[in-house]
Structure 1
Amino acid sequence: MEPLIEALASTDLAQVMRNSRWLYAAVSGGHVLGIALLIGAIGSLDLRLIGLWPAVPVEMLARVLVPVAVSGLSLAMMTGLMLFLAGPADYAQMSLFRVKLVLIAVGTGHALWFHSTNSFDGATVALRRVGVTSLIIWLAVLGCGRMLAFAG
């Protein structure tokens, strides 16, 4: 693992990320934007699945919000990788960072599983369970990410 971390740390992009205050700030802003898009969209959809706004059809809301969530996740992952490159050895040793990555994988897998089943017509209890689970996972990701600034 150490050779990989050292190789990542020595890339041109990693060096630029470490040495350019403004690029780092811009990438960090892009990361926050991606997170906002992801959590805003998936949180709203999860709240609908839990039972809020019953007059709004879930399928219609999902048609609008899922692409926003996917765009947010993509942006957050791309910018997150760039932020990681600024200090890969530091991040790799932080258990909180590893927990965050596992939660992102679990949240993404949960969403892919749910959307691949097209089960918006399922029982209300099942949809609520899916919404609560998703909301807990993504809020935990958000919490872990925020706490990284204070850990280590």
Structure 2
Amino acid sequence: MDSPLAWLAQTALADWMRLSRWGYAGINTLHVLGIALLVGAILPLDLRLMGRRPELPLADTARLLQPPAIIGLVLALVTGALLFLAGPGDYLAMPLFLLKLTLIALAIGNALWLNLGPGLARATRRRLRLAGGASLLLWLAVLACGRLLAFVAE
């Protein structure tokens, strides 16, 4: 284990995550809540970006769904980092975990590419469809990787 990783694994917070059954369970529950908020909001938004339900104004749909998606993402990232502390060396040794982190980075990059680029209002229909489709696939792949982590060994 690398030195910073060893230090991280020996912090009081890492000990608490490993040893506190209720602490770990509570953080894990908040992690699932964050994922539910994120995916529950991003799925209908992605479908709208891909052209479903065109009668719903895109700006209104985004204004409604982006805040809970962002709150869910932040909650999932913070709690995910805490869960990581329970076994940083073990997680980093798992290719599936590294794939999950890569997919999360790509999904966040995709959202930034759309929102910080032309924005929803000025994006072409093609760009909206591409961003929505990529987001949908990436977040579903993140979900699958995260769930499979509980069942696969290195």
- Does residue 128 in structure 1 map to residue 115 in structure 2? no
Q: Distance in 2 between matches of 1:126 and 1:5?
A: 40
Matching of residues 85-124 of structure 1 within 5 Å: 85-116=85-116, 117-124=118-125
| Alpha-carbon distance in structure 2 between the residues aligned to 1:150 and 1:56 | 40
Displacement, 1:125? 3.0
Please say if residues 120 and 127 of structure 1, whose CA atoms lie closer than 8 Å, have aligned partners that are also in contact.
Answer: no
Letter in 2 for 1:18: R
How much does 1:123 deviate? 3.3
Residues 3-152 of structure 1 correspond to what in structure 2 (within 5 A)? 3-116=3-116, 117-152=118-153
Q: Residue 97 of structure 1: SS of its match in structure 2? A: helix
CA distance in 1, matches of 2:151, 2:132: 29
1:70-118 deviation digits (Å, cap 9, x = unpaired): 1001000000011000011110100000010011111101101101121
Q: Aligned equivalents of 2:51 and 2:125: distance in 1?
A: 8
Instruction: Report percent identity of matched pairs.
Output: 52
CA–CA distance in structure 2, aligned partners of residues 135 and 86 of structure 1: 29
**Runs of 4+ residues deviating >3 angstroms:** 119-123
Structure 1, gaps ≥5 residues long = none
Secondary structure at 2:53's aligned position in 1? coil
| Shift in Å, 1:119 | 3.5
- Quick check: 116-125 or 138-147, which moved more? 116-125
Task: Supply the distance in 2 between the matched residues of 1:115 and 1:123 (Cα, whole angstroms).
Answer: 12
Conserved in 1, the CA contact under 8 Å of 2:34 and 2:76? Answer: yes
| Stretch deviating more after TM superposition (42-51 or 116-125) | 116-125
Secondary structure (helix, strand or coil) at the match of 1:42 reads helix
Deviations 1:14-67 (A, max 9, x none): 000111100100000000000011111111100111122111111111111111
How far has the Cα of 1:2 moved from its partner?
1.2
CA distance in structure 2 between the aligned counterparts of 1:19 and 1:79, rounded to whole angstroms:
16
- Pairwise CA RMSD: 1.2
Runs of 5+ unmatched residues, structure 2: none
TM-score (norm 2): 0.94
TM-score scaled to structure 1, two decimals? 0.95
